[in-house]
């Protein structure tokens, strides 16, 4: 598509460039995206936002800060830019730069913007400055929503301020808000990580009483998942599935350093998630006796029969191991699957 754009002479069109940037970054081609970005002369805020968002998606937070500095010379960032940059700062725990961005936010009068304020709360919390986060939270006043409250509660638990977190949780009623699964998760996982199992179980029971159905994050067994990931990686070094499951588990628990470590391991080993195939699934869902005129059903049954015995057993062992690991991060199934 890029070559076609060059051929028909639209390579300098800002909308085409922005689409190409998004395409390259979604595919993980950061170098190609950077070269294209540097080539563009008439960059606008949408182009900058697409580039910054894509870089964050690829874990290039340091580059994001440099691009943001360059943007300040060319274009005035909007709330989308600010939120993305604050996310990168939070991952880097670069509170010094975060304070500078906070000052810029006040200068352009975005400090009362709900999502910008929430991003500030998240940034300060992840950098360990919970008092600053709480100050921003208070200043937002009536502009706070449930996401803002969840971010502040999660930040308090992250910084071991459990009493403050409980106070905030109780204060949701004063704003006419009800805790959602993310709110309950912050409290339960937070207490669990601080070895306060009694408090965690108390909130778990409260969650059940409130009619919230437990999700996979409430059943996560990180220690066992780590052990199984290690064993599975020895059996199948090129299989990314165990690492992806463990990464998601860490992310749900707010263990961002551990999640980042797993992501680095995936990158270092060059693991790629293989595309799935629905041939076997289709054969299980349909039966050629009931659908004799559907060629793909007949073919799927033949494909299954043609699979070698040893290969079939090996594949089933792999599937079984991954399923066991997934079950560690999922609630028990009590209802029949329809």
- 3-state secondary structure (DSSP) of residue 13: coil
* Model pLDDT, residue 236: 78
- Where helices occur in 9-113 by DSSP H, the ranges are 14-26, 30-39, 45-57, 61-74, 79-92, 95-107
Q: Is the pTM of this model over 0.75?
A: no
Distance between CA atoms of residues 78 and 63, nearest Å:
19
* Model pLDDT, residue 75: 84
- Contact at 8 Å (CB) between 51 and 23? no
Joined together, the tokens standing for residue 4 give: 């076609």
Distance between CA atoms of residues 154 and 162, nearest Å:
10
* Model pLDDT, residue 155: 95
Distance between CA atoms of residues 240 and 275, nearest Å:
12
Ordered per-residue pLDDT tens for the chain, 338 residues = 545 444 454 555 677 778 888 888 888 888 888 888 888 888 889 989 999 999 898 888 899 999 999 999 888 899 999 999 999 999 999 999 999 999 999 999 988 899 999 999 999 999 999 999 999 999 998 899 999 999 999 999 999 999 999 999 999 988 889 998 888 888 888 888 788 888 888 888 888 877 776 655 555 556 666 776 777 777 778 888 778 877 877 777 677 788 888 888 888 888 776 554 443 333 333 444 444 444 444 444 444 444 444 444 444 444 445 444 444 444 444 444 43
Joined together, the tokens standing for residue 328 give: 């560690």
The C-alpha angle 254, 79, 97, rounded to 5 degrees, equals 60
* Model pLDDT, residue 60: 87
Polymer length in residues for the chain: 338
- Contact at 8 Å (CB) between 259 and 242? no
């Amino acid at each position: 598509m890029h070559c076609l754009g060059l051929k028909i002479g639209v390579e300098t069109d800002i909308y085409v460039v922005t689409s190409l940037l998004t395409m390259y970054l979604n595919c993980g081609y950061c170098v190609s995206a950077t070269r294209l970005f540097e080539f563009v002369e008439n960059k606008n805020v949408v182009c900058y936002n697409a580039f910054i968002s894509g870089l964050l998606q690829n874990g290039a937070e340091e580059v994001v800060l440099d691009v943001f500095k360059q943007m300040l010379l060319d274009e005035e960032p909007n709330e989308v830019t600010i939120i993305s940059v604050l996310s990168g700062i939070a991952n880097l725990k670069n509170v010094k730069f975060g304070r500078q961005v906070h000052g810029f936010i006040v200068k352009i009068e975005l400090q009362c913007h709900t999502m910008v304020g929430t991003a500030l709360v998240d940034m300060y919390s992840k950098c360990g400055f919970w008092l600053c986060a709480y100050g921003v939270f208070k200043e937002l006043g009536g502009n706070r929503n449930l996401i803002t409250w969840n971010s502040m509660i999660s930040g308090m638990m992250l910084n071991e301020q459990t009493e403050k977190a409980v106070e905030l949780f109780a204060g949701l009623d004063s704003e006419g808000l009800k805790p959602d699964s993310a709110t309950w998760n912050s409290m339960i996982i937070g207490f669990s990580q601080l070895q306060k199992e009694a408090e965690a179980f108390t909130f778990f029971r409260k969650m059940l009483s409130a009619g919230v159905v437990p999700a996979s994050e409430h059943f996560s067994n990180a220690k066992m998942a780590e052990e199984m990931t290690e064993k599975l990686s020895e059996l199948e070094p090129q299989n990314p599935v165990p690492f992806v499951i463990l990464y998601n588990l860490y992310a749900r628990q707010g263990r961002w350093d551990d999640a980042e470590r797993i992501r680095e391991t995936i990158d270092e080993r060059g693991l790629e998630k293989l595309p799935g195939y629905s041939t076997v699934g289709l054969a299980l869902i349909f039966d050629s006796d009931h659908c004799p005129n559907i060629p793909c059903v007949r073919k799927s049954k033949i494909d299954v029969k043609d699979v070698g015995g040893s290969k079939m057993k090996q594949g089933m062992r792999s599937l079984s191991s991954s399923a066991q690991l997934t079950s560690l991060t999922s609630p028990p199934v009590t209802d029949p699957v329809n």
